[in-house]
Homo-oligomer: A and B are copies of this chain.
């Protein structure tokens, strides 16, 4: 129900096809006007071969310079979302926001739990947009788009309040903010992580400032869609000496 939070744990993401599709250009936000004027972008498709045995991706038709280029696969889900609360609007699945959605964050992968605030009765969870791998930012507009088998579980958490999606695995706590500019997403991601630590570790505003000032890490999850994403991360190691406020029962 609205007010609840879904905890979606991704247990397994198994690639089940030996190819993926991507694009050859860089999205507008990745280029200065000067770079764009000097480098006409080619927006045709490109196909990658996925060697599922070795776990490596290679271009099917590489240029001479790229003929040995290979990159390890790291399966992830571009989309995990619930229905947003904008009246009865039926948004497309390409959008993102406080409800998650098309976040294209490459740490939404195996052994990670994503937390999404529920806005509509039933939550209306959806997942999809399998990526064999993706650099930060999803700079080509598409990542290595492919098919995969997914195993995940969902838990409903009551009496929990979050403003943006959060994720967690053995190593990190991550606050994921989606907004119309990186500057706006940056302040939202930081404020969400600060609030998370204040509540879960009973820290004061100054305590949180000391923890984040020494230990926060940022990444840019994506710049390819309407909203961009900034992720504020802290390692569980950095928090090891703090005492959780609410011990699990």
Contacts and interface: CB of A to CB of B under 8 A. Distances in A.
B37 A40 contact: yes
A131 to B, nearest CB: 10
A210 B66 contact: yes
A248 to B, nearest CB: 19
A32 B187 contact: yes
A29 B186 contact: yes
Given A87-B92, A205-B40, A242-B69, A57 B214 contact: yes
A129 interface: no
A209 B31 contact: no
A36 B125 CA distance: 32
A129 to B, nearest CB: 14
Given A68-B241, A69-B241, A205-B41, A214 B32 contact: no
Nearest to A22: B213
Interface residues of A, number: 89
| Chain B CB within 10 A, most for which of A34, A214, A223, A243 | A214
Contacts of A217: 135-136, 219
A91 to B, nearest CB: 5
A191 B34 contact: yes
A33 interface: yes
A46 B205 contact: no
A26 B139 contact: no
Contacts of A211: 66, 69
B24 A209 contact: yes
Interface string A46-76: 1000000000010100010110111100000
Interface stretch (A7-15, A113-121, A165-173, A194-202): A194-202
The 4 closest A-B pairs by CB, nearest first: A180-B180, A89-B92, A33-B36, A140-B213
22 contacts: A23-B209, A23-B213, A24-B206, A24-B209, A30-B186, A30-B212, A31-B191, A33-B36, A57-B214, A63-B206, A63-B207, A65-B203, A66-B203, A66-B207, A71-B238, A135-B212, A138-B213, A143-B213, A180-B180, A180-B226, A186-B220, A217-B219
Given A32-B191, A137-B190, 15 more contacts: A22-B210, A23-B213, A25-B209, A26-B205, A28-B34, A34-B36, A46-B210, A69-B211, A71-B214, A87-B94, A89-B90, A135-B217, A140-B210, A218-B219, A220-B220
